[in-house]
Structure 1
Amino acid sequence: MNPHSAATPVRRRVLTGLGGGTALALAPAGASAASASRTASAAQATALATATATTDPALHLLRRATFGPTPALLAEVRAAGTTGWLDAQLAPLTQVSDTAMEAVLARWPSLGWKTWQVRERLPQFGSWDVMFDLLESHLARALFSRRQLFETAVDLWTNHLVVPVPSSEVWDNAHLFQRDVIRKHALGRYSDMLNAAARHPAMLKVLDNADSHKKAPNENYGRELLELHTVGVGGYTEVDVKMSALALTGLGVDSESGLYSYKPQRRFVGAVKVMGWSHANTSAEGGDAVVTSYLNYLATHPATANRIATKLAVRYVSDTPPSTLVTKLAQAYLANGTAIAPVLRVLFLSPEFAASAGQKVRTPYEDALASIRILGLRPEPAPAPGESDLRDLLWYTGTFGQAPMGWPAPNGYPDVATAWGGASGTVNRWNFHLGLAGNWTLKAMTRPDVTSLVPSPLPTTYAALVDALAATLLLTLTTAQRDAICRFVDHAPTDVLKAGSAAVTWRLPSIVALLLDSPNFATR
């Protein structure tokens, strides 16, 4: 399906009323792009400054530990208790049944293919079909899996050990990198994930170690391993980078099978020293074990502990997390042998997390997923290959600037609010909200009609209607925000609402979209 043909012309909504309490305005579709961009930028700046924080601990947990709360999920957390729900989410394979998601995953049998099977079964060498299956399944899991905390961790590590998809370098193995490196270890030990990544053809190709040789060592992976995957900038020297590259020689890819292959003929032999780690490295045949020693040293280095702790705290707590929390998380990381689940438990049960409500803003990708989840969309009936709403959603996230696995550089997408303040992306998200609410976007997915959001009996005033819709969407509005939406439909807040009025018929999708446009919904 072509998203362009499925879209319905919409009006750009300017949310100054929702953000700062001033008049709500509409920019017609024919308005100049520059004017719309300036207005959107100002609106978003105001919105981020006025986002309201929830005082509900269950809702706060769900905004951070999932890709968007739903009323059903909120009820589940209240029934289990926040700690009980969290503990189950930290042991998802044994504690959280996900049979419906497993049934959906059966749509992509290619995700179980080995590298040689991809090469053998696809009609054209270098085909991107399996990579698109991977991306669709990644979106589906984020949207529909009951193992939500696990899926947020998968997304975090995907954005940490970056393998860009789609890419011709990984056309036959990117799905296996996700399965055997990221998903296998997302809540396990980071040292195991690091070792698995270092021996996966996808990482070795993307960062050029597959071509590294003792006579001409390639420094790319050796540098990124230090700078991005472990200790971070400032903890090493250029000499360390050169030694890091030598320490990784021999890790390669078999050209015929496409599998990891240790190649002793390429291995540098001789003493190697990086930071506080050293090894005699006396034989080419023993190089693989030397690499394990090196990677384990880096994984358990205090600087790596601090870096991983900071990354987790930025994702789940604040753009500028408290140093007290980072210290606690780093200590938990080292005390638990680099295991991630215990660190996350400390994080979510910490007073710093409890105090952080309102301190994170959803990225465009998260905003799209949360919108779909709160409106109750479910997987469409089995579509034809390449024709699914998930493929369309992949396109939409690209227009927001954040398609999954789409960051081309090894440093990953930024996870701070200031990185996502562009006017174009904001307007695209607003129009996406309206398309979802009006059932013009992702039309093949099953969903309740938007009128199901209107309570029965019908609220008596326009103010009561807006408040009720906001509550259903798990939002709390300020009086100024509520009144701005009432004025948008040309009524005072106290006006009597009648059955069949525009606000509960043809203008209802616009009201719902405005609520999704609000800073309250943008808050992670």
Structure 2
Amino acid sequence: MPDVSASEQTVTRRAVVGVAAAAGVATVLPVGTPAAAAAVTRPADFVPDDPQLHLLRRATFGPSPSSIAEIRKLGTTAWLERQLKPSSIPDKVADGLVARFPLARLGIAGIRNLVTARKLKQYSWDPMWQLGFSAVGRAIWSERQLFEVMVDFWSNHLNVTCPHGDVWDSRIDYDTAVIRTHALGSFAAMLKASARHPAMLTYLDNRFSSKTSPNENYGRELLELHTVGLAYTESDVKDAARLLTGLTVDNTTGKYRYDAAAHATGAVRILSFQNANATAAGGEKAALALLDYLALHPVTARRIVTKLCVRFVADDPPAELITALVKVYLDNKSAIVPVLRALFTSAAFAASAGAKTRTPLEDLAATVRILGYGPAPTGTKFLESLYAMARDAGHAPLSWAPPNGFPDVASAWASPSGLLIRWNFHLLIAAGWWPDTLVRPANLMTGMLGALPATYGALITQLGVRLLGMAPPAAHVTALAEFYGRTPASPLRADEPAAGWMFSYLMAMLLNSPTFALR
């Protein structure tokens, strides 16, 4: 080993943060006056000018070495079409991870049977915790990436908080029967499945609604959050609540049932929907007719399409794109695949590079994915650790407490403490400190780059291309070389810290960059 100075031996948080800031991390989210924002480099300048990488950054939880190789081989159109047919994609790794969480695969009867057999405590949150852990695993290692992104999207749109005490026996089945079954189907079918699922009926109190005491909670959220937004009146809410009475949960089985005796009859008008609602026996059919009407309402179409554009295009998406996609949505009776196909092939999507910022969960998943680290061969602690990281960043999957779901705009996640949390888990994961059981190269430098680069500049540039899809700007390369007390032209030896024990710090600082922060 050559002599190493004290400054090289000790890497402090101040040093890492200082170099990262010098490399431009502070420019991820321009704030302040318009003049100040204009002085900041445009976000699009921080992302690769590569349409395939752009699609991967949006339609997945982040590019991985294997997904990059796949889209290069198949081409953009074939890759997208394959992702739109997830059942055709083998998903051995993700399926194996989910199999490690047996409670996360149970239906309502299965959970209740374990309680009866005294193998699980009544009201136990263990199945819901396992669902959250498995969601992290799927986001990172599933080959059906667009499907998993849409599962996350719909889990937020039709949110039932997980874990949540009242849905202890039904939240797992809601994920399977409602969200995952219909994620790439039609919104109308998903909305009707949600309205007749014990988890939603319990979460928003409709199971307790009756003709003598209609509960307005689900009726209001059905209109405001799930469909037409604020385009309703209090009269609409009251009539919706009355029409939805009788959609309830069997207390013995925990499953959905329609209780005609609890249904409030009498004519209703919700927006322009009218129904005589003359008999209790016909109440369920009338409620389903309302749900179809709402799912295909032009205002609902605009809300769903706008949320998809916010997720995949920009926090403030182009009005022209929204209008075009509303027509696709309505022409296809709320089918989601045609809308996604039109969105991803639009000129507005192609022009939106750099217009989105990753949420904490996406940042976490993207970190593991771009590093190419594999899951631990056995056990579940590593996924519990990754879930805890997401939770510490305020974004454990499925856990948003209010019924409106996690926000998906940069301003909701912009804070110094949130940025520091992300920087910390970049280093923890890259260095293999936590979780410490992920499968990664024995030698990080050769595993990431192959042969030893000749200079520090080449080291930084090659690793930038590997992790970010583009070479860092010259100023960033200089700043990162200075972190090691070198210049970009300094020769690099295999026995130097930068190629050994300090290589993970370089990985982390590149992951701290604006390029990685942008989706």
Question: Do both share a fold (TM > 0.5)?
Answer: yes
Q: Name the structure 2 match of 1:147.
A: 144
Q: Is the 8 A contact 1:20 1:46 kept in 2?
A: no
Q: Could you list the runs of 5+ residues in structure 1 that have no partner in the other structure?
A: 1-8, 23-41
Structure 1 residue matching 2:375: 3-state secondary structure: coil
Q: Name the structure 1 match of 2:6.
A: none
For residue 21 of structure 2, the aligned residue among 16, 24, 28 is 16
Q: Name the structure 2 match of 1:219.
A: 216
Q: Name the structure 2 match of 1:180.
A: 177
Q: Is the 8 A contact 1:111 1:130 kept in 2?
A: yes
Q: Name the structure 2 match of 1:336.
A: 332
Q: Report % sequence identity.
A: 47
User: Cα–Cα, structure 1 residues 452 and 460, in superposed 2: closer, same or farther, change >3 Å?
Assistant: closer
Q: Is the 8 A contact 1:454 1:465 kept in 2?
A: no
Q: Name the structure 2 match of 1:136.
A: 133
Q: Is the 8 A contact 1:455 1:468 kept in 2?
A: yes
- After superposition, residues 153-172 of structure 1 pair within 5 angstroms as 153-172=150-169
- After superposition, residues 67-466 of structure 1 pair within 5 angstroms as 67-94=61-88, 96-121=89-114, 122-233=119-230, 235-383=231-379, 388-449=381-442, 450-453=444-447, 455-466=449-460
Deviations 1:170-228 (A, max 9, x none): 11111100000000000000000000000001001111111111111111111111111
Q: How far apart, CA to CA, are the structure 1 residues paired with 2:171 and 2:374? A: 26
Deviations 1:207-254 (A, max 9, x none): 111111111111111111111100111x11111111111111111011
For residue 56 of structure 2, the aligned residue among 62, 76, 81 is 62
Deviations 1:55-101 (A, max 9, x none): 1111000000001102221121011110111011111113x222332
Paired residue type of 1:225: L
Structure 1 residue 50, shift from structure 2 partner: 7.7
TM (normalized to structure 1)? 0.90
Structure 1 residue 140, shift from structure 2 partner: 1.2
- After superposition, residues 428-507 of structure 1 pair within 5 angstroms as 428-449=421-442, 450-453=444-447, 455-476=449-470, 477-507=472-502
Q: Is the 8 A contact 1:48 1:519 kept in 2?
A: no
Paired residue type of 1:519: P
Q: Is the 8 A contact 1:210 1:251 kept in 2?
A: yes
Paired residue type of 2:417: S
Q: How far apart, CA to CA, are the structure 1 residues paired with 2:261 and 2:276? A: 18
User: Cα–Cα, structure 1 residues 110 and 123, in superposed 2: closer, same or farther, change >3 Å?
Assistant: closer
Structure 1 residue 452, shift from structure 2 partner: 3.1
User: Cα–Cα, structure 1 residues 470 and 60, in superposed 2: closer, same or farther, change >3 Å?
Assistant: same
Deviations 1:327-363 (A, max 9, x none): 1111111111100011000000000000001111101
User: Cα–Cα, structure 1 residues 320 and 21, in superposed 2: closer, same or farther, change >3 Å?
Assistant: closer
Q: Name the structure 2 match of 1:29.
A: none
Q: How far apart, CA to CA, are the structure 1 residues paired with 2:238 and 2:49? A: 51
Paired residue type of 2:21: T
Q: Name the structure 2 match of 1:522.
A: 517
Structure 1 residue matching 2:46: 3-state secondary structure: coil
Structure 1 residue 49, shift from structure 2 partner: 5.3
Paired residue type of 2:329: Y
C-alpha RMSD of matched pairs (Å): 2.0
Q: How far apart, CA to CA, are the structure 2 residues paired with 1:161 and 1:296? A: 16
User: Cα–Cα, structure 1 residues 164 and 48, in superposed 2: closer, same or farther, change >3 Å?
Assistant: farther
Structure 1 residue 303, shift from structure 2 partner: 0.2
Q: Could you list the runs of 5+ residues in structure 2 that have no partner in the other structure?
A: 1-10, 28-35
Q: How far apart, CA to CA, are the structure 1 residues paired with 2:254 and 2:406? A: 28
Q: How far apart, CA to CA, are the structure 1 residues paired with 2:441 and 2:12? A: 22
Structure 1 residue 456, shift from structure 2 partner: 4.0
Q: How far apart, CA to CA, are the structure 2 residues paired with 1:239 and 1:454? A: 62
Q: How far apart, CA to CA, are the structure 2 residues paired with 1:53 and 1:440? A: 28
Q: How far apart, CA to CA, are the structure 2 residues paired with 1:359 and 1:151? A: 22
